[in-house]
Structure 1
Amino acid sequence: MEKSRIIIALDYPNEEQALSLIRQLDPAQCRLKVGKELFTRAGPSLVKRLAAQGFSIFLDLKFHDIPHTVARACLAAADLGVWMLNIHALGGLSMMKAAQEALANHPSRPQLIAVTVLTSMDQAALSQIGLAGTPEDNVLQLALLTQEAGLNGIVCSGQEAPVLRQALGKEFLLVTPGIRPAGVDPKDQQRVLTPREALAKGANYLVIGRPITAAPDPMMALRAIEAEISNV
């Protein structure tokens, strides 16, 4: 059976809280995302520990630097046994190609995807940093550049997924954060969809954090989302 399309974002400030949730999970039930805060506090040892337990790990560090530095960082991440990692498309074509080429011959090559426009950024935020065009325009331009570089996919809002799926084809991965089940406060996310809506629009994987991790009963929240998307 195919593993879950749900990637639980371990939005915890320390390893102990993350492990408290993980002890309740079967690796076949979900995938896990380790981001900047938890990685900075717990380090590579936690990632290795989770991978050794059979969890598919998305290491979400959004590498963005000169090509050589990003390539070496991607190799280091791959050596941790992660299933997926990401870089930032704003680093440009040369940087993304360097990352892709560095991983090409890795014995357990992870999926390599790129971040385009953060889901917390709306039109006003893009204008403030000098990017012309709508969020959708920028996402599409960066997604096409990512595909040209040979990466496996992108992180994007589910709202852009239909256009991206049409432009990029069926094999290109769309990993969608900013997921909020119906009735849940979107908080700092500006472009959000429900899990069912995101998958129906073409997303492959859903990154879901606080609606599960901050729920009074995280497992009940996960099961409710699984039920919502079971027939999509």
Structure 2
Amino acid sequence: MEGIRERLIVALDVDEASRACRLAECLAPWVGMFKVGMQLFYGQGPAVVEALRRTGARVFLDLKLHDIPRTVAGASRVLARLGVSMFNVHAAGGAEMMRAAAEAAREEAAAMGLPPPLVLAVTVLTSIDQEAFARELGFGGRISEKVVAWALLARECGLDGVVASAREAAAIRQSCGPDFLIVTPGIRPAGAPAGDQKRVATPAEALKAGATHLVVGRPVTEAADPVEAVKGLLAEIKDSWG
């Protein structure tokens, strides 16, 4: 089960650090990493990352950094000092910004004697469908084409992988090779509602498409029994993987 649990990331999209830590402590035996997003980080600050790390949790800090290269490099150094295991930047920030983030994070981690964090590029949000992609964002072509182009750029810039919908995972895997990380949000257990997500997938669909990590939030954190919800997800993962 160890290899399976490492693929599962639970999104702690809650307001309070105490609740986040309780969830992390009870789910730790079954979860490889916990995602701290804007809601929790902006409400509680860096202290919530430190509190989670004291529980032994590995943290994926999902802030989608997107600014000029110097600013993003400085932020990446701060995140590396926090000891996060993974964080992301937005691919739309361009090559110079992505390179600056990866280089700064690795340099800072080495200086602090910490393992270097994995640095990912966010591609197209899973809440965006093809209509919004074209009409609201003004992009031509298909979502999958843009996602793959950004994934290739991220790989060229030395990033470890991307955050992308499972629907684009197969195309990313084919273009970027076997060692590139593909972290897929919008994961829903079979039969669960999509909520505000547009490009969703089940654990089995994501893994078969080439995803390396699955991000699950509300189906776990809003469940009557989060531990049982995670166990159900792990069973789906095991069935699809094994």
Q: TM-score range by the shorter chain?
A: over 0.9
- 2:89 alignment partner, SS class: strand
Counterpart in the other structure of 2:149: 141
Q: Match of 1:176, as an amino acid?
A: T
Counterparts of 2:81 and 2:6, CA distance in 1:
23
- The unaligned stretches of length 5 or more in structure 1 are none
- More moved, 81-90 vs 141-150: 141-150
1:63-102 correspondence runs (5 A): 63-102=65-104
Counterparts of 1:29 and 1:158, CA distance in 2:
20
Count of equivalent residues = 232
Counterpart in the other structure of 1:185: 193
The structure where helix makes up a greater share of residues is 2
User: Runs of at least 4 residues of structure 1 off by over 4 A?
Assistant: none
1:170-181 correspondence runs (5 A): 170-181=178-189
Counterpart in the other structure of 1:152: 160
Which one of 122, 127, 131 corresponds to residue 120 of structure 1?
127
Report how far residue 23 of structure 1 moved. Answer: 3.1
C-alpha contact (below 8 Å) 1:27/1:53 kept by paired residues: no
Deviation by residue 1:149-183 (Cα, 9 ceiling, x = unmatched): 11000001111111110100001000000101111
- The unaligned stretches of length 5 or more in structure 2 are none
Cα RMSD after superposing both structures: 1.3
- More moved, 144-153 vs 23-32: 23-32
Q: Match of 1:170, as an amino acid?
A: P
Counterparts of 2:139 and 2:74, CA distance in 1:
29
Using structure 2 for the length normalisation, give the TM-score.
Answer: 0.92
